[in-house]
């Protein structure tokens, strides 16, 4: 008998003597994997991750439909970091929602059509304001066929004095 089997038998004997049964996780059946997203998307933010206060930067959002799903009527939301300002975008967003400072704006593009394998590009100009901090930029794609109705990706952007 191997040392491993001896250890497992000792553990099981100890558990049985204490009045309840448990199976070590290494002996238990593997749990079912999380369901895979039926329509995986790849979201990528290209641009600087460190900016001095007051700087203007251009970012490129690259959205790729990595599935065989046809995504009709999808929406893209770009949540800017706190203490930042929207400058411009190509294509122009459907909606620009400004929030009271320090919260950054939120851009929305609605009615997106993404064929299987298609790549969509969004060029966005942003200005950072305020003091030195770490800002979080969050990009989400919303569509009913996605798990939970959306796929999001977070990015950190450092603001330096």
Cα-Cα-Cα-Cα dihedral sign, residues 65, 67, 68, 70: negative
47's tokens:
């641009």
List residues bridging with 122 in a β-sheet: 61
**pLDDT digit string, tens, across residues 113-134:** 999 999 999 999 999 887 667 6
- Give me the mean pLDDT over the 125-147 stretch: 84
Nearest Cα neighbor of 123 from 95, 80, 93 is 93
Return the bridge partners of 86, or none: 126
Better-scored residue on pLDDT, 129 or 112: 112
In the chain, which segments carry CATH 2.60.40.3670?
A: 41-160
Quick one: fold of 41-160?
A: Immunoglobulin-like (2.60.40)
């Amino acid at each position: 008998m191997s040392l491993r089997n001896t250890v497992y038998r000792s553990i099981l004997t100890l558990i049985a003597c204490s009045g309840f049964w448990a199976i070590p996780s290494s002996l238990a059946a593997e749990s079912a994997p999380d369901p895979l997203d039926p329509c995986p998307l790849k979201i990528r933010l290209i641009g600087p991750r460190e900016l001095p206060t007051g700087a203007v930067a251009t970012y490129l959002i690259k959205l790729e439909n990595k599935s065989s799903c046809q995504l009709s009527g999808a929406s893209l939301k770009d949540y800017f970091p706190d203490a930042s300002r929207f400058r411009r975008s190509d294509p122009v967003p459907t909606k620009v929602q400004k929030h009271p400072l320090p919260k950054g704006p939120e851009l929305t593009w609605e009615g997106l059509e993404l064929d299987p394998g298609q790549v969509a590009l969004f060029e966005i100009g942003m200005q950072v304001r305020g003091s030195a901090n770490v800002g979080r930029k969050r990009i989400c794609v919303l569509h009913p066929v996605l798990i939970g109705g959306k796929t999001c990706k977070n990015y950190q952007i450092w603001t330096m004095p």
